[in-house]
Amino acid sequence: MTVVERKKLSIGGWIAVFGLAALAVATTEFLGITQKWENGIVYTVIVFTAVIIPLRPAWGRRAFWQNLVVIFLLHVLALVVIEQSLPPGSRGPHGLPLTAVGMAEAVLIGSVLWKRSMRSNSHSI
């Protein structure tokens, strides 16, 4: 089994990524969350959606979900530290630098999850 059988992300996958990102934006706007935190929340939603969807072959493995939870918590911790270190009036990281970091993080998270999930013999959730 290869990751995503070397297929491109389906239209359903793209709809999920953009739909969840739009939902995150709408939710943060409705709740009145500051721009820098909104950027971080939407960034997190996009990165983890882009990682989880292509790794569907690993969804049935307990190790996949266990490692995903650990990586997600580490991501959130790093995000909070970075956001807290920014000046109060800052809009936070955004634009091209955030996109580049997100792509690199998604590749790293995806490869770690795939390798750890495939090493495990645990197929049940």
**Residue 17: inside a domain:** yes
CB atoms within 10 A of CB 58: 22
pLDDT band at 6 (very low <50, low <70, confident <90, very high): very low
List pLDDT tens digits, range 57-106.
899 999 999 999 999 999 999 999 988 887 777 766 666 777 888 899 99
Q: Which domain holds residue 77?
A: 3-119
Q: Is the pLDDT of residue 122 over 70?
A: no
**Residue 46 falls inside a structural domain:** yes
Residue 67 lies in a domain: yes
Kindly state whether residue 105 falls inside one of the protein's structural domains: yes
The verdict on residue 124 lying in a domain is: no
Note if the pTM is more than 0.75.
yes
Question: For residues 58 and 64, is the Cβ–Cβ distance under 8 A?
Answer: yes
Q: Residue 120's pLDDT is what?
A: 62
- 23-65 residue pLDDT tens: 999 999 999 998 888 989 999 999 999 999 989 889 999 999 9
Number of domains making up the chain: 1
Identify the pLDDT of residue 44. Answer: 95
Q: Does a structural domain hold residue 125?
A: no
59 CB-side CA count, 13 A: 8
- Cβ atoms of 17 and 67 within 8 Å: the answer is no
The structure tokens listed for 23 are 């939902």
The alpha helices in the chain, defined as continuous H runs, are 11-31, 35-52, 62-85, 96-119
